[in-house]
Structure 1
């Protein structure tokens, strides 16, 4: 169990760049979305946090499968976690909810921590309500900064391509609970 907690801790060495942006009026406010439409393609930048909770009464990430050797593997090779994580505008769990990350991640590396991640990031507010994008990517979890691939989307993000720059905001080594930030850049065509 201690190895699983360690693997989960290493899984979420992911965070975005700081979310605070200075507005045109000079005030500092958290802005989680920005769109630039040039008439041919639209570039959207989203900055948000997801809260991956493995402990407590209502965890948002649960182990659904593992290989026989997972418990003896230094990387947790073969473990598969299913997630339904809330997405917020700031690392505070009580900050504004903007959507949910749903999908799975699993340890795919035998000698180094390498996670396969397939997740859908669905949004619930404003012009993004009902839209989503999907990542399907290898996450080299020990790298301090990682680039994850965006492979598609729905709604306003239909035919999206792009990437996520990710880093960990916080990680509890005892529970494996993590708050993870993403800075996503999506390109869609008109």
Structure 2
């Protein structure tokens, strides 16, 4: 009887040990998650507000100091009516008014590419990098389609940095001036953005 109790005690100890390792493995695997909910206020996020920004985008492709430079094209770009396949890198000034001499509020930095074979339609991937006022050092990111000959083009805001963290909204672009000879353009932008 004593030997049977000793065997049962050993078996019981083994079962407890196995159960402990199995349970601790379950607990450990449950505590290492890929994601977790966070408190917005603990990360400095206040109540969301809507802002309207208004400025002019100067796309200068000609002259001695262009701000938009073609960096790539397809073999068939020169025979395309829409310039399909052209890729342009930009560092365009953003100003308060349409005159290039007016106050600089930022730069549009990124690329646009001719992405349509049937009309002049650009894929726009750019950041508005602000250098003035309370938004100095903050950016807005835009990714969208720009049908150049439409009176007003709407493109989405897909994010931002600084005061525009978690930004979302849209921009409306309308051509203010276009020089057919040089290819230079001044585009009016109205930006509507939710941010914290």
Match of 1:144 among 151, 155, 177: 151
Q: Distance in 2 between matches of 1:93 and 1:188?
A: 29
Q: Specify the structure having the higher radius of gyration (Cα).
A: 2
Deviation of 1:164 (Å):
0.6
Aligned ranges for residues 69-80 of structure 1 at < 5 Å? 69-80=76-87
How many pairs were matched up? 151
Higher helix share: 2
Deviation of 1:40 (Å):
2.4
Q: Matched residue of 1:156: which SS?
A: helix
TM-score by structure 1 length?
0.77
Q: Distance in 2 between matches of 1:126 and 1:117?
A: 26
Runs of 4+ off more than 4 Å: none
Q: Distance in 2 between matches of 1:69 and 1:107?
A: 12
Mapped pair 1:81 → 2:88: yes
RMSD: 0.9
Partner of 1:121: 128
Higher strand share: 1
Deviation of 1:78 (Å):
0.2
Partner of 2:49: 42
Mapped pair 1:112 → 2:122: no
Higher RCO structure (Cα 8 Å, ≥6 apart): 1
Partner of 1:131: 138
Deviation of 1:41 (Å):
1.1
Q: Distance in 1 between matches of 2:52 and 2:67?
A: 25
Q: Distance in 2 between matches of 1:112 and 1:95?
A: 33
TM-score by structure 2 length?
0.75
